[in-house]
């Protein structure tokens, strides 16, 4: 591939990233209902895309599942997790009942998206803006470092059968970038020293989320989840890494007591 072709999507990718990051940071700064609404809308967009990938003609069902995602994700701070968690299955169950095929796949991925939305709202509420900002920075650094290292260095593919564009150089660069972000938050924000290895684990979870979405797209025979975001495809293509990292931090927070328990 020529150098021009290798970087052909960079301009659109950068502009889209700047817009998304700006909106996300504004919502994160304001917090509260604004952050919850932002997360609910992003998750609804991803559920919609997933439904359209599964059944391109089932537009009405896709909109229904998206609306249900907003209904169950937005008010998650009003109830204890023991009540909220079962409700997160509602969008997936609706799709599983109404979509013509791939019902279990849709149910699993829709539940995964909804759980991630719950994670982002919980992390912002319990760990504050700085805690959520750390997670966002880790995922962005992992993605950016992986993108540039993979393009510039290339080399052996990480998992060519599932994600043919990902390389070992990009994967390792993502881990290094995440560790540097963690070290920065330790030095500047006073985070615990365990933040550095935790950042690497979050980077790995982010990459796993990316690979999981790639596997789903290959199974469904689609290139992008949608074309809503220039240079990135769809919201699932952009936020698949955040899903993996967010769920990891939620489960890890429950296991360590960093986040409130289920009951």
- The domain ranges of the chain are 3-256
Token digits of residue 62: 């896709």
**CA atoms 187, 189, 193, 197: torsion sign:** negative
Terminal-to-terminal C-alpha distance of the chain: 54
What pTM value is reported for the model?
0.90
Q: How far is 97 from 109, CA to CA, in rounded Å?
A: 15
pLDDT score at 18: 83
**CA atoms 61, 63, 66, 68: torsion sign:** negative
Q: Give per-10-residue mean pLDDT for the chain (263 aa).
A: 51 76 93 97 96 95 98 91 92 97 96 97 95 96 87 70 73 94 96 94 95 90 81 83 96 86 62
> Which has the closest alpha carbon to 165: 187, 135, 191, 143?
143
pLDDT score at 174: 94
Q: How far is 182 from 42, CA to CA, in rounded Å?
A: 26
pLDDT score at 2: 46
DSSP string, 47-80: HHHHHHHH-TT-HHHHHHHHHHHHHHHTTGGGS-
Q: How far is 191 from 203, CA to CA, in rounded Å?
A: 17
pLDDT score at 232: 63
Q: How far is CA 165 from CA 33, 43, 114, 147, 211, in A?
A: 38, 26, 27, 10, 11
pLDDT score at 31: 96
pLDDT score at 259: 82
Q: Where are the beta strands (DSSP E) in 99-162?
A: 157-159
């Amino acid at each position: 591939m020529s150098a021009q072709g290798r970087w052909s999507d960079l301009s659109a990718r950068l502009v889209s990233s700047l817009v998304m990051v700006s909106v996300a940071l504004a919502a994160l700064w304001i917090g509260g209902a604004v952050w919850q609404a932002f997360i609910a809308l992003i998750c609804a967009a991803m559920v919609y895309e997933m439904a359209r990938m599964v059944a391109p003609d089932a537009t009405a069902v896709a909109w229904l599942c998206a609306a249900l995602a907003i209904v169950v994700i937005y008010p998650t701070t009003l109830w204890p997790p023991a009540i909220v968690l079962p409700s997160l299955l509602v969008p997936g169950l609706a799709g599983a009942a109404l979509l013509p095929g791939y019902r279990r796949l849709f149910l699993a991925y829709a539940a995964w998206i909804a759980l991630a939305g719950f994670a982002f709202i919980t992390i912002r509420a319990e760990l504050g803006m700085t805690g959520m900002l750390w997670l966002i920075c880790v995922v962005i650094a992992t993605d950016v470092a992986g993108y540039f290292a993979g393009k510039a260095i290339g080399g052996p593919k990480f998992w060519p059968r599932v994600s043919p564009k990902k390389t070992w150089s990009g994967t390792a660069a993502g881990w290094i970038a995440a560790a540097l972000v963690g070290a920065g938050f330790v030095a500047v924000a006073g985070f615990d020293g365990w933040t550095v290895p935790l950042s690497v684990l979050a980077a790995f979870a982010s990459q796993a989320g990316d690979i999981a979405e790639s596997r789903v797209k290959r199974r469904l025979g689609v290139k992008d989840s949608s074309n809503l975001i220039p240079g990135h495809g769809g919201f699932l293509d952009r936020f698949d890494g955040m899903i993996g990292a967010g769920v990891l931090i939620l489960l890890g927070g429950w296991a360590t007591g960093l986040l409130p328990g289920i009951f």
